[in-house]
Structure 1
């Protein structure tokens, strides 16, 4: 079984991004996933795509949240993903 990956698209000097990181760090205590951070300012394409939306959270490549990242919502998505993987 492959490990779930959460990707956090972020940038420097972004208070919402800092809050999202804290939320995801808290979730890591409950759930087993790999957390990747991507600074959108390293790519013109990412800046264009996510500039007004950050932070953006992807769960295994699927966008599951942006702006204010809700811990309860991400936790539910992780639970759904775990159940789905167990059925495979």
Structure 2
């Protein structure tokens, strides 16, 4: 999963704390990406961060989200998988 964030972003800090403190059924690797390093990322995510993007589906979850929304986002079955 990718966590789009940037420095001096209070909401990003809140979202990061939620990620850290949410008990997950299995570990999910998270790559934090600072959007300030890319003009393209700033254009795409500048007004939306913090944003989570699933690596398997490309689905995105924009802030605001709570623990239940985060868990539902992570539990969603990718299209075409045996469980869908």
Query: Shorter-chain TM-score category?
Result: 0.7 to 0.9
Q: In 2 relative to 1, CA 53–87 (structure 1 residues): closer, same or farther, beyond 3 Å?
A: same
In structure 2, distance between residues paired with 1:34 and 1:53: 22
Asked if residue 71 in structure 1 is aligned to residue 67 in structure 2, the reply is yes
Gap regions ≥5 residues in structure 2: none
TM-score when scaled to structure 1?
0.76
Q: In 2 relative to 1, CA 24–85 (structure 1 residues): closer, same or farther, beyond 3 Å?
A: farther
1:85, distance to aligned residue in structure 2 (A): 5.5
Between Structure 1 and Structure 2, the one with more strand by share is: 1
1:5-53 superposed Cα distances (whole Å, 9 cap, x missing partner): x2110010000000111111123x4232111100000000000111111
Q: In 2 relative to 1, CA 71–46 (structure 1 residues): closer, same or farther, beyond 3 Å?
A: same
Aligned partners of 2:45 and 2:51 also within 8 Å: yes
Give the RMSD, CA atoms, in angstroms.
Answer: 2.1
Aligned partners of 1:9 and 1:37 also within 8 Å: yes
Q: In 2 relative to 1, CA 40–15 (structure 1 residues): closer, same or farther, beyond 3 Å?
A: same
Give runs of aligned pairs for residues 8-87 of structure 1, distance below 5 A: 8-27=3-22, 29-30=23-24, 31-60=26-55, 61-63=58-60, 65-81=61-77, 87=83
In structure 2, distance between residues paired with 1:59 and 1:11: 18
